[in-house]
Amino acid sequence: MTAPATHGAATERRGLALPSSIDGTLVTLVLGAAILWFAPAGMGRYGTYVLSLWLVMSIAVMGLNLTLGYAGLKSLAQAAFMGLGAYATALLTSKLGLNWYAAFAISGLLTFAVGLVLGFPALRVQAHYLAFVTLAFSTLIWLILRNEQWLTGGVFGLSNIPRPSFLSVKLDGALEFHRFVVVVTFILAAALWWMIRSPWGRAFMALRENPVRAASLGVDTRMYTLLAFAIGSAYAGFAGALYAPLVEFIDPSPFSLSQSFFLLLMVVAGGSGYLLGPFIGALLGVVLPEWLRVVGSLYLIVFATIVMLLLIACPQGVSGLIERGWAKLTGKAGGR
């Protein structure tokens, strides 16, 4: 059933960071992609790798932001879905010799299907009970990745994961692969931008604000609950499909439950329910710790302190802080 055109002012206004217009958000994505295309100049191989990792994690956070920030469904399984996508891509390309693009599509379809199935408990349980269901699923996937050595390599992992080619050109270089990641990230971000501005996005936000009211307005809450889980999971699968060739070796450790909590932290710190929030949150989670290495072994303590102070000062995340500042600057009401 198609979502109704209106669900109240709260659902229409929420979800944008600076700038607050629809066109402004798309322009921000285009300009960001253009800057990131040339950003690695002079950074070296490791700096380029960190930028690429930031974009890959941004894709995973986009999916969780859709599930949590827009649909209001608590999930602690995003790292598990990322692991499924990474291992599926690694096995299909390195063991079966499949084309990366086909493996990318299969990883997305696999995680979409698993997310669809996992979404069914969300129809029966709510709030922290739903989080416990996804927590159990995350633990199950991590145990499979760690213990089923015949398939996943166990703690020894999978190596020699090939990178994709484009127009018969192998993207083995750090710069070439980074630019490939920039293009894929922009496509996925633009797709999410379109989705949030469509009737689907308005239905997701109505589901988050008040499921009973959304149902009374004609929203098929059952279908959109399942879709929120499935699409958010597919984005994690896509992130995993890029992560595997980026690092060229995977083991279970990056896909543990603690990583799911870290992805959740990125959503909250960046701004839950903001289109540009995942990029800000992933920037804080991936790039900031690298910058803080100048303080030596204390960098993790400094990082944790900064994040705690940030969340205390702006509980709506950096995107919310930017939006309020923009509203004061332009004399317009905030978008929350």
Please report whether residue 76 resides in a domain. Answer: yes
Q: What is the pLDDT of residues 184-237, one digit of tens each?
A: 999 999 999 999 999 999 999 998 888 888 888 888 888 999 999 999 999 999
Please report whether residue 11 resides in a domain. Answer: no
Please report whether residue 331 resides in a domain. Answer: no
pLDDT at 17: 38
Position 319 pLDDT exceeds 60: yes
Please report whether residue 200 resides in a domain. Answer: yes
Write out the chain in H/E/C secondary structure: CCCCCCCCHHHHHCCCCCCCCHHHHHHHHHHHHHHHHHCCCCCHHHHHHHHHHHHHHHHHHHHHHHHHHHCCCCCCCHHHHHHHHHHHHHHHHHHCCCCHHHHHHHHHHHHHHHHHHHCHHHHCCCHHHHHHHHHHHHHHHHHHHHHCHHHHCHHHCEECCCCCEECCEECCCHHHHHHHHHHHHHHHHHHHHHHHCCHHHHHHHHHHHCHHHHHHCCCCHHHHHHHHHHHHHHHHHHHHHHHHHHHCEECCHHHCHHHHHHHHHHHHHHCCCCCCHHHHHHHHHHHHHHHHHHHHHHHHHHHHHHHHHHHHHCCCHHHHHHHHHHHHHHCCCCCC
Number of domains in the chain: 1
**Lowest-confidence segment of 3-17, 45-59, 291-305 by average pLDDT:** 3-17
Please report whether residue 13 resides in a domain. Answer: no
Please report whether residue 272 resides in a domain. Answer: no
Please report whether residue 82 resides in a domain. Answer: yes
Please report whether residue 190 resides in a domain. Answer: yes
Give pTM, 2 decimals: 0.90
Q: What domain range is 134 assigned to?
A: 18-257
Q: What is the pLDDT of residues 169-182, one digit of tens each?
A: 888 889 999 999 99
